[in-house]
């Protein structure tokens, strides 16, 4: 019971964290995270190797960073590009997914999602407390000004996109044991992440406080879902 609640809480909180990091540092709504989450399930089904999940997530995130920084000039353009990337993954998975309606994996690593969620939040809090935290806050509040003052915005942006993509794929990999895998598996998680992130953003906080709010809102929503269902 408590374990299920923790899994539900961390699945919402983790997706909200990934959406928020991309939006605050990369300045775009990363809609490819849903597709990446589903891709994690397929990697679990075909290879059972989490290293492949992490590496493919990192590679995809870096490619996404290159595409966005190369051709996009606004938040909307970058968001639409990430949507295209998400649809590309989903359609690619649909082509791969040919033998039956849903896939099921034989192992269950769902509990590791709790570890992944906790580690991700701790890493973000640590990043904000570290000397680099001030620079990240600077990028969050004014991206262009931070660049003018010599902050390595590109490095932070590429790291944020790559690491969050890897996290999304790994989350999908871990959760796959408790899911019926299909190309659209990730959309529900993505939407819940966006909703939590949007609610938390209303408080207009910067830095670690925002991520603490994400945890609180995720906890409230997970609690509400527990009561309702």
Partner 1 sequence: MKKIITETSPIIIISAVLYTSPYSSWLFVLMTIYALLTISWLFMRMTGRISMGHSFLLGFPVFLASAGYSISPDVSAQLFLAGCFLSFTIFYIFSEFTGRTAFVFLTLVFSILIWIVSPKFAFEINGYILGGEVGFNFPVIPQKMLHIIAGASLISLFVLHRVVESSRIGYFMRAIGDDETASKAVGIDLRKTKALSVFLSGVSAWSAGLIYAFEFGHVSPEIFSIEFSVFPFIASLLASGNPLFSVFSSFALVYLSKVLNSFYPGLMGIFYSIVLILSPKIGRWAYVKGKRLDEKIR
Return the range that interacts with partner 1 (CB under 8 A); candidates 89-97, 105-113, 125-133, 167-175: 89-97
| C-alpha distance from residue 223 to each of 10, 17, 220 (Å) | 12, 18, 5
Closest C-alpha to 126, from 48, 211, 187: 211
Q: How many whole angstroms separate alpha carbon 59 and alpha carbon 53?
A: 10
Return the number of the residue (56 or 79) whose C-beta is nearest partner 1: 79
142 contacts: CB under 8 Å, gap ≥ 6? none
The reply to whether 203 sits near partner 1 by the rule CB under 8 A is no
Question: How many chain residues bind partner 1 (CB under 8 A)?
Answer: 30
Select from 12, 38, 61, 90 the one that contacts partner 1 (CB under 8 A): 90
The reply to whether 94 sits near partner 1 by the rule CB under 8 A is yes
The reply to whether 71 sits near partner 1 by the rule CB under 8 A is yes
The reply to whether 187 sits near partner 1 by the rule CB under 8 A is yes
Select from 29, 33, 38, 58 the one that contacts partner 1 (CB under 8 A): 29
Q: Say whether 184 sits in a helix, a strand or coil.
A: coil
Return the number of the residue (6 or 80) whose C-beta is nearest partner 1: 80
Q: How many whole angstroms separate alpha carbon 56 and alpha carbon 39?
A: 9
């Amino acid at each position: 019971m408590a374990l299920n609640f923790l899994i539900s809480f961390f699945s919402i909180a983790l997706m909200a964290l990934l959406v928020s990091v991309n939006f605050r540092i990369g300045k775009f709504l990363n809609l490819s995270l849903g597709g990446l989450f589903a891709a994690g399930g397929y990697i679990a089904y075909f290879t059972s190797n989490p290293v492949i999940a992490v590496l493919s997530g990192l590679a995809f995130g870096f490619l996404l960073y290159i595409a966005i920084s190369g051709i996009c000039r606004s938040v909307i353009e970058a968001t639409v590009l990430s949507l295209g990337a998400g649809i590309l993954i989903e359609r690619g998975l649909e082509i791969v997914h040919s033998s039956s309606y849903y896939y099921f994996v034989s192992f269950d690593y769902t509990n590791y999602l709790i570890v992944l969620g906790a580690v991700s939040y701790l890493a973000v809090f640590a990043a904000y407390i570290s000397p680099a935290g001030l620079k990240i806050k600077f990028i969050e509040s004014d991206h262009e000004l931070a660049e003018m003052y010599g902050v390595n915005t590109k490095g932070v942006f590429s790291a944020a996109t790559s690491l969050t993509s890897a996290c999304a794929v790994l989350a999908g990999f871990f959760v796959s044991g408790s899911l019926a895998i299909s190309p659209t598996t990730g959309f529900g998680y993505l939407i819940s992440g966006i909703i939590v992130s949007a609610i938390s953003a209303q408080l207009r906080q910067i830095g670690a406080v925002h991520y603490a709010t994400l945890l609180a809102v995720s906890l409230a929503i997970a609690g509400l879902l527990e009561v309702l269902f």
